[in-house]
Each structure stands twice: as C-alpha cells, then as structure tokens.
C-alpha cells in the first residue's frame, strides 16, 4: 500500500488545474505512447460518479484483452487507438493521468487517491485517470465510421488542426468572413480551430500584435498570415517545452512543462515586455484575458 501512496512521486503524466490545451495533450500522448504501445489491457475499472461521459458496462467488457495500436491526440482528446475502436479521454478542467508500475488490487488503488474515475491495468502497471471536478470524459468510438484519426476529428466535429498544412492564412481569412465575434473567442472555438484555449490564444495574439477583441471580419489577409504564423510558432515552442506548468504539470519522467517561463501576457500583471505599457485584463469568452493596449491593435 505504501508503494502506491507515493505514486505521485514516481510518475505523473499530467497534473493541471486549468484546462489542458494542445501542447499539454501532445506531451501526454508522446509520453504515454512508448509505455503502452503494443501492450494489452488486462482489467478495467470505473467509478460510479457522473462525468461528462464515462465507459458503459459493455465498454468495460470489451476493453480487456485488447492491444494498443497507437497513442495520439485529436484536438484536446487523448486517443488510445485499438484495432476496432478508439478510447478517448478528454481532461476537462482538472483531469490528469497517473502511472504506477506496481501491480496492485484495483480496490486498494482507488482508495489510495481521491477522485479516480478510470483505472486501466496492463498487467504490470496501472494507468489511472483522476478528475476532481469531473468535467472530463472517457468514451469509446467505433472505427466503423471514422477509420482514421482525420476522420475521427471530423466525426467529433473538431476544426482545423492548427499545426497541419491545411491550416494557413487563406483558410483563416475565409473562415472569418462575416463573423463579428472576437478573434480570441473564435480561436478558442474547437469547432473552428482544434486544441487552442486561453493560454495559447492569448500568447499568439500578443505576438501577432492583434487585440483579442478585434471582430473576426476585420482581419485582413496580412493579419491572418501573421496570426497563423504566430499561433503555429507558439504551439510548437510549447510542445518542445512540454507545455505550460499551471500549479503542477510534469511529464512522464517528472520533468516540468516549462513554457510557462516564456509566457509574455497570459497570467501576467506587470508591464508589457515590449513597450512597458500597463497590461490590461478583461473577461472575453468567460476567460480572463491579458493584453497590451499599445502593442495589440
């Protein structure tokens, strides 16, 4: 029992108290893939507490004996690909995965940590999904329809993957025609652009010199080009740094997601790093937004 009680010190994939975005999910997927690729799920346990979605009894009967073929990300979903189906995990506001390489009884495991809602056993280690706020979801999607992850993205109603070649200045320009809502709200709409939330929308807009309240239809092609370039750059940089640590976030081997050290506006209260003007804070799309009124027009 003592070995499990120190599991947090052994291996934490994701510990976020703000909604994970594309770089954080990408980090989780890349850390988890080598651990469970080609491994067989031996047991499944779920709590009986309500979340956005949870595995059914049929799902729990299906999973044991299934081999993991791939681990990837689609939007803000972690995708564990099996031969016939996809196991999808959305981390909501507070979800995380915990891995322990100790074989323990499920009942002991779930009593050792609070708010555990899913336990996948792979024989010699366990993967636990913990979600205190229960805004996350766990679900299974059959490959009868979406046979590839690209088709899965369309099936889930997810927008452009911002790091894909298909997402460019022209695409953003045409998508925003006739739309009056704020550009920051647009970027955070997963049905338009996948995986971008408050952190990376704010950081990309600052680097592009675009005010977050700018109506979408006022973006010209030049601004679209600048915004797309900045968004891709910010996301790639964040992935290379393992995401942003908000309170606690670490990779599989315990490393800290250090892109938080490179935030220029998100969560900042001091003056602008470029012009030294006072940063402003306001609520946009139910999210606190920090921006520079001088640099962002």
20 is catalytic: yes
Q: Check residue 75 and give its pLDDT.
A: 95
Domain ranges of the chain: 2-155, 169-291
Q: Which of 20, 23, 162, 212 is catalytic?
A: 20
Give pTM, 2 decimals: 0.86
Q: How far apart are CA 128 and CA 119, in angstroms?
A: 5
Among left, alpha and beta (phi > 0; psi -120 to 50; other), residue 158 is: beta
Class of domain 169-291: mainly alpha
Q: How far apart are CA 250 and CA 256, in angstroms?
A: 4
Q: Which of 18, 21, 73, 241 is catalytic?
A: 21
Q: Check residue 260 and give its pLDDT.
A: 86
Which residue in the block uniquely carries the two structure tokens 């229960």?
A: 134
Q: Check residue 84 and give its pLDDT.
A: 95
Q: Check residue 255 and give its pLDDT.
A: 56
Q: Which of 18, 66, 73, 76 is catalytic?
A: 76
Q: How far apart are CA 118 and CA 123, in angstroms?
A: 16
CATH of 2-155, picked from 3.20.190.10, 3.60.21.10, 3.40.50.2300, 3.50.50.60, is 3.20.190.10
pLDDT tens by residue, the chain, 297 residues: 233 333 333 344 444 345 789 999 999 999 999 999 999 999 999 998 888 999 999 999 999 999 999 999 999 999 999 999 999 999 988 788 888 776 554 455 545 567 889 999 999 889 999 888 888 999 999 999 999 999 999 999 999 999 999 999 999 999 999 999 999 999 999 999 999 999 999 999 999 999 999 999 999 999 999 999 999 999 999 999 988 855 443 344 445 667 888 899 998 988 999 999 999 999 998 889 999 999 998
Q: Check residue 14 and give its pLDDT.
A: 40
287 is catalytic: yes
Which of 251, 187, 265, 222 is CA-nearest to residue 33?
A: 251
Q: Which of 139, 192, 223, 287 is catalytic?
A: 287
- What is the three-class DSSP state of 191? coil
Q: Check residue 95 and give its pLDDT.
A: 86
DSSP per residue, 68-101:
P-EEEEETTEEEEE-SSEEEEEE-TTT-EEEEE-
């Amino acid at each position: 029992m003592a070995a499990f009680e120190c599991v947090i010190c052994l291996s934490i994939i994701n510990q976020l108290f703000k909604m994970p975005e594309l770089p954080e999910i990408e980090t989780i997927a890349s850390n988890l893939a080598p651990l469970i690729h080609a491994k067989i799920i031996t047991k499944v346990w779920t709590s009986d507490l309500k979340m956005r979605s949870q595995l059914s009894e049929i799902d729990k009967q299906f999973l044991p004996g299934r081999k993991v073929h791939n681990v990837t990300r689609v939007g803000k979903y972690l995708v564990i690909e099996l031969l016939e189906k996809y196991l999808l995990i959305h981390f909501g506001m507070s979800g995380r995965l915990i891995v322990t390489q100790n074989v323990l009884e499920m009942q002991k495991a779930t009593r050792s940590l609070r708010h555990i809602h899913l336990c996948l056993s792979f024989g010699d280690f366990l993967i636990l999904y913990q979600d205190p706020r229960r805004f996350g979801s766990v679900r299974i999607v059959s490959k009868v329809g979406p046979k590839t992850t690209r088709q899965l993205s369309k099936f889930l109603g997810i927008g452009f993957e911002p790091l894909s070649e298909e997402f460019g200045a022209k695409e953003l320009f045409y998508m925003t025609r006739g739309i009056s809502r704020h550009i920051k709200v647009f970027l955070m709409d997963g049905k338009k652009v996948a995986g971008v939330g408050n952190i990376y929308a704010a950081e990309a807009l600052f680097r592009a010199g675009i005010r977050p309240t700018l109506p979408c239809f006022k973006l010209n092609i030049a601004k679209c080009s600048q915004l797309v370039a900045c968004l891709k750059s910010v996301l790639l940089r964040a992935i290379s740094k393992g995401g942003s640590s908000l309170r606690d976030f670490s990779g599989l081997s315990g490393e800290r997601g250090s892109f938080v050290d490179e935030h220029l506006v998100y969560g900042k209260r001091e003056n602008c790093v470029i012009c030294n003007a006072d940063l402003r804070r306001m609520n946009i799309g139910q999210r606190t937004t920090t921006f520079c009124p001088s640099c962002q027009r």
